[in-house]
Amino acid sequence: MKIIIFANGNLPNLEKARSLIRPDDFILCADGGTRHAIALGITPNAVIGDMDSLPSNFQPSIFDGELILFPKDKSETDLELSINHALTLNPDQILILAALGGRIDQILANISLLSDLRLSTFDIRLTDGVEELFFCRDQVKVDGRSGDIVSLIPWQGEVTGVFTENLRWHLHYETLYPDKTRGISNEMTSDVAAVSIKSGLLLVTHIIGY
């Protein structure tokens, strides 16, 4: 099962976002993220959060999906609660849409959520059809097209043994450091690029169709 989570950030291109969604996907909205599902004409399977930022055109009284309500005074963001709930459904893949744009603290927190060790065996990424972000703990592939921009950012410390394929500036078992910009703005030379590491946690960012 693939789960689509709509967060409450920006969604720059509705049609590119729509292209990521299939009819049998499970749609989970993190509170205000419901507005994106409505804009796409999609009925969520579940809405989760404290319901303090629901769009005015969403009517809980006639919603036939699941409403999972949390108090406003809570320690987690609505997106964190949504990811926790998604994990209980044993998905094969989780795509989080509209988690970028807006407040920088929210963006950094959303990215940090993906570093949770519980997610290490899942294909989980922040994506909106324009950009995608995900972590490499061992090896990953980047699907796109030649010319797309890929950046490799060490997360939580140095990353060793970084090896790349089909990127313009090849990294051959190199170490990337969090206070250096060595891995920024590489370029795909094929429709599929590959990245592997020996140790650490590497954030992969992919600008699609650059």
Measured CA to CA, the distance from residue 28 to residue 143 in angstroms comes to 25
pLDDT band, residue 210 (cuts 50/70/90): low
Is there a shared CATH topology between the 2-129 domain and the 139-207 domain? no
Higher pLDDT pick, 100 / 149:
149
pLDDT of residue 116: 93
Residue ranges of domains in the chain: 2-129, 139-207
The bridge status of strand 123-127 relative to strand 131-136 is: antiparallel
Q: What is the pLDDT of residues 13-56, one digit of tens each?
A: 999 999 999 999 999 999 989 999 999 999 999 999 888 777 77
Of 184, 180, 153, the C-alpha closest to 167 is 184
Q: What is the pLDDT of residues 167-202, one digit of tens each?
A: 999 999 999 999 999 999 999 999 999 999 999 999
Residue 64: is its pLDDT beyond 90?
no
Higher pLDDT pick, 151 / 54:
151
Overall size of the chain counted in residues: 210
Residue 137: is its pLDDT beyond 90?
yes
Report the CATH fold assignment for 2-129.
Rossmann fold (3.40.50)
Exposed / middle / buried, residue 37 (Cβ in 10 Å: 0-12, 13-18, 19+): buried
What is the mean pLDDT of the segment spanning 159-164? 98
Answering whether pTM is above 0.75, one says: yes
Q: Which CATH number fits domain 139-207: 1.10.287.110, 1.10.10.10, 3.20.20.410, 2.60.120.320?
A: 2.60.120.320
pLDDT band, residue 153 (cuts 50/70/90): very high
Q: What is the pLDDT of residues 67-107, one digit of tens each?
A: 898 988 888 999 999 999 999 999 999 999 999 887 899 99
Measured CA to CA, the distance from residue 195 to residue 144 in angstroms comes to 14
CB 125 within 8 A of CB 142: no
Secondary structure (H, E, C), the chain: CEEEEECCCECCCHHHHHCCCCCCCEEEEEHHHHHHHHHCCCCCCEEEECCCCCCCCCCHHHCCCEEEECCCCCCCCHHHHHHHHHHCCCCCEEEEECCECCCHHHHHHHHHHCCCHHHCCCEEEEECCCEEEEEECCEEEEECCCCCEEEEEECCCCEEEEEEECECCCCCCEEECCCCCCCCCEEECCCEEEEECCECCEEEEEECCC
